[in-house]
Structure 1
């Protein structure tokens, strides 16, 4: 699977709510749209027709036969069932459409994340990407559900039922209309007034999420009786702040929920009192009043669905803006990989006048390098002297501020290194290990994993697998939890050396390793260099005797 350039030529615009919804509906296959629309119409019709038959039943009591009245009641029950069934199947269609959309959006975010410039990616943390892939995507999905199922359909049902009251009793219609306007306004006002507190809660949730991750990272230090009280106090403070924001949100929601309930009860009481009075003076019939009260309660339920959906749409809009900002993050410039498929084997890399700095500080200044296949280069120097930065530049992870590059004595662009990365091996200081088993970690990214695992059994690398777990099935936790530093380094070493590489960069390869493994690596690295450029970055002694060139930074 090739990397895709993200965003595409015509990406969805997330900064405009109306345009985004329009583009979404245009992207849905026509058949599901027709199916969902048809079921929505059927649901609306069924919800609007049953009061007619119920009204007829009330009018026919004492006049028509029991069979006729029973027929009308059976029609009412059938219409209610039809509305429920239509809603169910409409939900199934909508969920299928939204599932496909959600997967596509999540895939788009994932591709964008992996297309980011190396420094841009590391400028964020895992909580940020977790929120983007899960929370923001899910809120957009909820907003789409609100549009497809809540707002349009429930608003139409509420409107049609309200109009039906006019056929039952025009005076009651105007009374109910005034009441429904009041209730609807209260619901909308509640949604608008509660929204800022919801936004504050979402932000506080993110802060708390960061804090919990920090607490987990402090575990080993706390076990050493370091700053336990301080960490606990900080946890109490952070949690207290989070709970305070959550409490403020809950209190606001409860206040407006009580206000809405009070307004709804007042409307019901007002309609009931006015209706009873009109019944007593003979202005309307009792059956009209009873049916009106029933319909008003149903309309109220539909209105609450509409306002709840509006809240979901507001959340979706905020998430779309967040996703839009994310999709605007800087990507690395990678040329067409097909243009480098026939790139000749790398036998020499020359760099002249290389300089690179972070912000206003130069880390590397005016460095010249000549690297030849078949040689081992040992880079030494104090922390921060630029050794790892130069390695990152060679790997194409970052581009230098200035410098000239030649590959095989031919001028080359720095972007070229990005397209050749699959030919490089890089063992960095962190030894990236992910959640899974040892075998999965060791073979990750290998083009022929099963063949690689079989060849590993007869290779010297097999001896680097953690003892008693050489079948590779041992599970490890997040970031290599459950493995020692040496075991993590060994697995990462196996992963890099199982691949045929033209450049091998080992950044502090001896960290966490015992003497046996160090001797194995020193002995075998001489064999590895035959067809590769080998660069070793190390503070520790031992590689001087195998190095062809030593450079002090």
Structure 2
């Protein structure tokens, strides 16, 4: 089941995250956070009680107070460690949930909508945007939810110790806060430009990797090298600008913080001479100001991460807004095998105008159909309509002689075998590729040895443990095609579509394939799409597109 659109929006908000946290873990992290806040506010007031007065206490009189403060600080450190461990677990849970939702959404997309985006786009959703959102959640849990509250609580403690010093500190910290907010607003455009440059660079790297074989053959080296330098320079310039902005405002904020400390000290000394404050009050307040500033120094970075998380949430929301495949009918239980599939006046046109119109088909179990025609004539489009990957914009469907909804084809896909002209082979072992999607993979692999399909396995070594690189790297074109054939023919199906099956295959494999296809046809409808000669002798019907 996929999450409804309105629930996706709520999930990407902080309230949705908090509702997702198990109550026990949420209460635990809140308890540790409250203890840290209480400890941070008690120890300075505890010391103040010992120091207030006209004379300083003896060292022996300070020992109980100092020991009490040390115990509070140790307890606060332990609570901080435990809370951090819980928060790490919560972030893992959140990240796993989010990644699973992205994965499910990706596989729920309409087939055509999915292929309109590059694979780099989906990498960015899974790895970049999800990670930025995780960083924002970490900032909320680790910094904003505790350090910010501790800073506010300590300011309140200053008010209890000395109201004049409280007003002084509050005004000074307010100025620092305004400066930090202004600095973040100034840095925001450079951060956004950097992330845009990151995506552009990511796409360029993927493109340059795909150019490797062409460049190795002496094609386009200078042009690709020049583009690589330009693209990388643009990316690094965006990164440098972000770092310059961060460095500039970090120095300004540090200088302002030091100026505030000096100002509070000078005004405090003046008030001490005038009798407005006591020495013990000034001493404790100066200490607390340093602690408050150390806590507040983490807040701008956390707020910046929070803003990045909000940008990531918007990007992910746009991703979750992509159109999903809608299946409005359910395959009836106990449905009879596919004996006949018919199209009457079916058509599908792409945005550019290409496609196919007024298509009539009558496919019957036990026959082999050969579809021929020039490139772009609509052969593959017809196959995609047949599998429900493209929903016809016109025409009618008949299944076993009865009228049926086009959506029914989507539910029948598990009954189809499909060898695409660009056979998908992924990173992993040959065995994993050959058995992908099989309900009983080990049993199928054991039975492969006694089947004619074993002859399609690449020779040399143990084919089961042989590793395949990304997109079939390490295999020849023919080996990729044969592995994809094994994957489709190991499964039982009622309709088998072979799109350009002759590509990359040697003469022996082609002959074996032709012989076996003839044996298979009695149990299924077989469609062979090819603009090359070779299957005319076994086809029951040949159609030109």
TM-score, normalised to structure 1, is 0.95
Q: 2:335 corresponds to which residue? A: 343
Q: Distance in 1 between matches of 2:85 and 2:329?
A: 41
1:164-209 Cα offsets, whole Å, 9 max, x none, are 2233333322222211111121112212221121111111100000
Q: CA deviation at 1:9?
A: 7.4
Name 1:22's counterpart in structure 2.
Answer: 15
Of 235, 249, 269, the residue aligned with 1:276 is: 269
Secondary structure of the structure 2 residue equivalent to 1:253? helix
The CA distance in 2 between the partners of 1:165 and 1:233, in whole Å, is: 61
Q: Distance in 1 between matches of 2:67 and 2:190?
A: 47
Q: Is residue 2:188 matched to residue 1:192?
A: no
Matched residue, 1:241: 234
Distance in 2 between residues matched to 1:129 and 1:360, nearest whole Å: 25
**Residue equivalent to 1:356:** 348
> Which secondary structure does the structure 2 equivalent of 1:262 belong to?
helix
> 1:274 is paired with a residue of what secondary structure?
helix
The within-5 A match list for 1:140-151 is 140-151=133-144
Moved more, 164-173 or 369-378: 164-173
Match of 1:226 in 2: 219
The count of corresponding residues between Structure 1 and Structure 2 is 545
Give the aligned partner of residue 4 of structure 2. Answer: 8
Deviation at 1:97, TM superposition (A): 2.5
Worse-superposed segment, 44-53 or 266-275: 266-275
Deviation at 1:61, TM superposition (A): 10
Alignment of 1:256-405 (within 5 A): 256-335=249-328, 337=330, 339-405=331-397
Mean CA deviation greater in 102-111 or 274-283: 274-283
Shift in Å at residue 396 of structure 1?
Answer: 1.1
SS for the counterpart of 2:9 is: coil
Q: In the TM superposition, what whole-angstrom CA distance separates every residue of 1:514-535 from its partner, at most 9, and x where no partner exists? A: 1111111011111111111011
RMSD: 1.8
Q: CA deviation at 1:163?
A: 2.1
Cα distance in structure 1, aligned partners of 2:275 and 2:515: 107
Give the corresponding residue for 1:72: 65
Partners in 1 of 2:480 and 2:312 — Cα distance?
A: 37
Question: Aligned partners of 1:245, 1:49: CA distance in 2, in Å?
Answer: 46
CA distance in 2, matches of 1:23, 1:148: 14
Q: TM-score, normalised by structure 2?
A: 0.96
Structure 2 residue corresponding to 1:112, chosen from 101, 105, 116: 105
Q: Deviations over 1:296-339 (max 9, x none)?
A: 111112212222222122111111111111111111122465x4
Residues in 2 aligned to 1:123 and 1:394: alpha-carbon distance in whole angstroms:
20
Query: How big is the shift at 1:142?
Result: 2.1
Q: What is the aligned partner in structure 2 of residue 167 from structure 1?
A: 160
How has the CA–CA distance of structure 1 residues 365 and 469 changed in structure 2, closer, same or farther, with 3 Å as cutoff?
A: farther
Task: Quote how far apart the aligned CAs of 1:363 are.
Answer: 1.7
Q: Pick which of 407-416 and 94-103 moved more.
A: 94-103
User: Mind listing any 5+ residue stretches in structure 2 that lack a counterpart?
Assistant: none
- What is the DSSP-based 3-state SS (H/G/I as helix, E as strand, rest coil) of the residue aligned with 1:13? helix
Provide the rounded CA distance (Å) in 2 between the counterparts of 1:60 and 1:447. 82
Query: SS of the residue aligned with 1:54?
Result: helix
Determine the C-alpha separation between the residues in 2 that align with 1:335 and 1:121: 20
SS at match of 1:378: strand
Rounded Cα–Cα distance in structure 2 between residues aligned with 1:226 and 1:76: 72
Deviation, 1:292, is 1.9
Taking the aligned partners of 2:138 and 2:517, their CA distance within structure 1 comes to 58
Q: 1:49 aligns with which of 35, 42, 51?
A: 42
Match of 1:463 in 2: 455
Larger CA deviation: 451-460 vs 180-189: 180-189
How far apart are residue 360 of structure 1 and its match?
4.7
Contact kept, 8 Å, 1:169 with 1:288, in 2: the verdict is yes
Contact persistence 1:187–1:304 (CA under 8 A): no
Q: CA shift at 1:282, angstroms?
A: 4.8
Please tell me whether the aligned partners of residues 393 and 399 of structure 1 are also in contact (alpha carbons under 8 angstroms): yes
9 and 324 in structure 1: CA distance in 2 versus 1, 3 angstrom threshold: closer
CA contact (8 A) 1:32 1:93 kept: yes
Q: Is 1:129–2:122 an aligned residue pair?
A: yes
Q: 1:61 to 1:504 in 2, by over 3 A?
A: farther
1:441 to 406, 422, 433: 433
